Structure formats: structure tokens, C-alpha cells
């Protein structure tokens, strides 16, 4: 069976949101997650809460509803709650969102400001940190999307840390 894609030169595109740094975030690098109702969920790596120590903000998790209205679900501080989410979010069947931040949390990250976190925003909007990377054997700087399997387990990777290349004695 052959499939052929048709070219449609008269398609139009619409801007759904324009991220203006504060308070809505800036630099949405990651793919969006779309739920069954047509809502879009995503992250921005910068912007958001300008009252933190970082001049450009530490990013946000946002929702764009089917009518194009943006809601900031969490403003990262760059502290224990994490900061700079370069990856997007995934959603479980109960409506909980999961994601990672590249920095913040505890430990020593690649840029010296925490090794990143795994977070959850439950269906009611409550934010919690599920895991704080130490920058050691558990890694640092998660920067790619998580995978959620059918049993509810999360899988992901980190950009740094780990045990590869470590030598024990000579």
C-alpha cells in the first residue's frame, strides 16, 4: 500500500501564545503535551518569576487551554524546587504532570547551581519534587523528556554525572 502526502499551499498558521519572559516564561524549547480535551502543556527554560536570584528567571510549567488562554502552573525559583526545565512534561491517566529541571535542587550540577529535579504537578495543581539529583552516581542535568510506562514508572536520562569513566584504584 502506498501513501502520498498532498501539498496544501494555502494552509495558515496561528500564534497561540507569545512568551514575553515575565511572568509567563521564555524559551519554550521542549515539545508540548496535548491532553484529550485539546489543552497543551509545556515548559519554558527561562522567564517566569523575576523575584528570584536569576535575572532571566528559572522557567515555568504552563497550560494553554483549548481557547488559547495561558495559565502558569509553576514558577521555578532555581532553588530546591528546581530550575530551567529544558524538557517537556508527560501526563498520567489521572491527570498528573511529570517533568525534570536541568538545574536547581541540591547537589553539584554542571553549572554549579544544583543538579536538577524530577517534579510532579498533581491534577489539583499542587507542585512537589519527587527526586533531587546529587550530581554523583545518580547523574545531573536531566535535559530530555521523561517516558511514562503503562505501570506508572518514569524513565529518563541525565546530561552529566553518573559512574562512567570513574576509576577505582590503580
> What mean pLDDT comes out for the span 60-83?
89
Q: Is residue 4 part of a domain?
A: no
| pLDDT per residue as tens digits for the range 142-154 | 999 999 999 999 9
CA distances from 167 to 108, 115, 129 (A): 20, 22, 32
With contact defined as beta carbons under 8 Å apart, do 16 and 66 qualify? no
Q: Is residue 106 part of a domain?
A: yes
State the pTM of this model: 0.80
User: Prior bond to 107 cis, omega within 30?
Assistant: no
What pLDDT is attached to residue 168? 47
Q: Which residue has the higher pLDDT, 90 or 17?
A: 90
Q: Which residue has the higher pLDDT, 74 or 3?
A: 74
Q: Is residue 152 part of a domain?
A: yes
Q: Is residue 16 part of a domain?
A: no
Domain that holds residue 58: 23-163
Q: Is residue 138 part of a domain?
A: yes
| pLDDT per residue as tens digits for the range 4-38 | 666 666 666 555 555 554 566 767 788 999 999 99
CATH of the domain at 95: 2.120.10.30
Calpha distance 92→69 (Å, rounded): 23
Residue carrying C-alpha cell 529541571? 101
Q: Is residue 30 part of a domain?
A: yes
Structural domain total, the chain:
1
Q: Check whether 160 has a pLDDT greater than 90.
A: no
Average pLDDT, rounded, for the chain = 81
With contact defined as beta carbons under 8 Å apart, do 99 and 119 qualify? yes
Q: Is residue 98 part of a domain?
A: yes
> What mean pLDDT comes out for the span 68-79?
88
Residue carrying C-alpha cell 524546587? 81
Q: Is residue 125 part of a domain?
A: yes
Amino acid at each position: 500500500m502506498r501513501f502520498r502526502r498532498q501539498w496544501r499551499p494555502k494552509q495558515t498558521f496561528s500564534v497561540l501564545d507569545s512568551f514575553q519572559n515575565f511572568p509567563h516564561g521564555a524559551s519554550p524549547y521542549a515539545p508540548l503535551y496535548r491532553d484529550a480535551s485539546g489543552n497543551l502543556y509545556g515548559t519554558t527554560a527561562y522567564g517566569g518569576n523575576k523575584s528570584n536570584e536569576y535575572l532571566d528567571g528559572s522557567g515555568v510549567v504552563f497550560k494553554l487551554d483549548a481557547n488559547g488562554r495561558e495559565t502558569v502552573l509553576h514558577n521555578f525559583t532555581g532553588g530546591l524546587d528546581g530550575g530551567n526545565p529544558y524538557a517537556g512534561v508527560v501526563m498520567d491517566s489521572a491527570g498528573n504532570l511529570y517533568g525534570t529541571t536541568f538545574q536547581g535542587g541540591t547537589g553539584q550540577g554542571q553549572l554549579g547551581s544544583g543538579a536538577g529535579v524530577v517534579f510532579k504537578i498533581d491534577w489539583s495543581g499542587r507542585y512537589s519534587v519527587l527526586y533531587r539529583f546529587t550530581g554523583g552516581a545518580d547523574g545531573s542535568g536531566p535535559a530530555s523528556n521523561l517516558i511514562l510506562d503503562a505501570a506508572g514508572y518514569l524513565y529518563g536520562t541525565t546530561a552529566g554525572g553518573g559512574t562512567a569513566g570513574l576509576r577505582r584504584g590503580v
